[in-house]
Amino acid sequence: MQVVKRYSWLWIGLSLFLAASIAMLLLMNNRPSFTTATWIWDAKLISSQTEEIVAFAQENNINLIYLHIEPTRVSPQAYQTFIKVANQAKIKVEALGGDPNWAYTANRQSISDLISWVKAYNQGARADERFSGIHVDIEPYLLADWKKDQETIVNQWLKNVDYLLAETKKDAKLQVSADLPYWIDTVEVPGDSEKVSNWMLQRLDSITLMAYRNHAKGHNGIVDIVKKTMEAANTEKRASVIVGVNILESSEGKNVSFHAEGTQEMKQQLVILQDELSGNPAFAGSAIHDYESWKHVTQREEQL
């Protein structure tokens, strides 16, 4: 009888262990997969470095690329080849465009040209060669008149974003996203107390907050400066939020870039960032600005 009891306890223990293992696997499978994005501003690179770029992306778990559109310098065939290879590696590619002057309604044709080009390109490309969305980087606060007449510029900027959304979504299944500064929650919609951050969250599919700091936690850290917009995004339940960091060498201060600290420190801080923000339903991942800078710092470290 003692032998039978001993084997019974062994089976019970084994069953509990298996149940715990299955529960852990189910928990892991249910965890959200976060985005790791980067910007490629010099699109001409894809004409000769497709394999190199995609290999770098795979090594660094990049699954989204904002790729600049340059119709006069890069052929549709080059975009097709790159996107096909990227998609095979499970990397989405969004069409990137923008300029501070795109905030003015007088320059709306530039937005129209981008939309028209992307739609025509996608129509002529195979399913695995198409852009998944349009990503804009407008940054009107870089305009000389921003401090003098911010209200007028913001008003025109929002009208242009409405136009971007309406024209892009017309007869097309394209995501629309935008780069925004982390402090956009301090700017009000003209004639309203609503924050521009909330206005954008209600309309766009995703925003990438440029939270350019080189530490995740603490005062004026990444988590601290994105907190309000992240909370608003959770409430709006519309747009997802990708948090952008910088590895481009910057003259704006020592704490705005990981250029000096290097890639390992950046990755460690991004792990902390993800742990801190993963409880937010709107949090979608991180973006590193930009590919060329990231690659150059990586090469610098390899030579040490």
Over residues 103-114, the pLDDT tens digits come to 999 999 999 999
Q: What are phi and psi of 63, to 5 degrees?
A: -125, 10
Q: Tell me the residue range of the domain where 21 lies.
A: 1-31
Stretch 145-169: mean pLDDT: 98
pLDDT per residue as tens digits for the range 67-121: 999 999 999 999 999 999 999 999 999 999 999 999 999 999 999 999 999 999 9
Global pTM value? 0.90
Residues 125 and 9 in one domain: no
**pLDDT at residue 1 tops 60:** no
Residues 9 and 24 in one domain: yes
Residues 53 and 16 in one domain: no
Residues 9 and 42 in one domain: no
Residues 27 and 129 in one domain: no
Structural tokens at position 149: 């007449």
Residues 260 and 240 in one domain: yes
Structural tokens at position 14: 């084994």
If one counts the domains in the chain, the total is 2
Quick one: pLDDT at residue 12? 53
**pLDDT at residue 291 tops 60:** yes
Which of the four pLDDT bands, split at 50, 70 and 90, describes residue 254? Answer: confident
Residues 159 and 15 in one domain: no
Q: Lowest-pLDDT range, 6-10, 50-54, 127-131, 276-280?
A: 6-10
Which of the four pLDDT bands, split at 50, 70 and 90, describes residue 265? Answer: very high
Q: What are phi and psi of 257, to 5 degrees?
A: -145, 150
Task: For tokens 């060329």, name the residue.
Answer: 292
Residues 93 and 3 in one domain: no
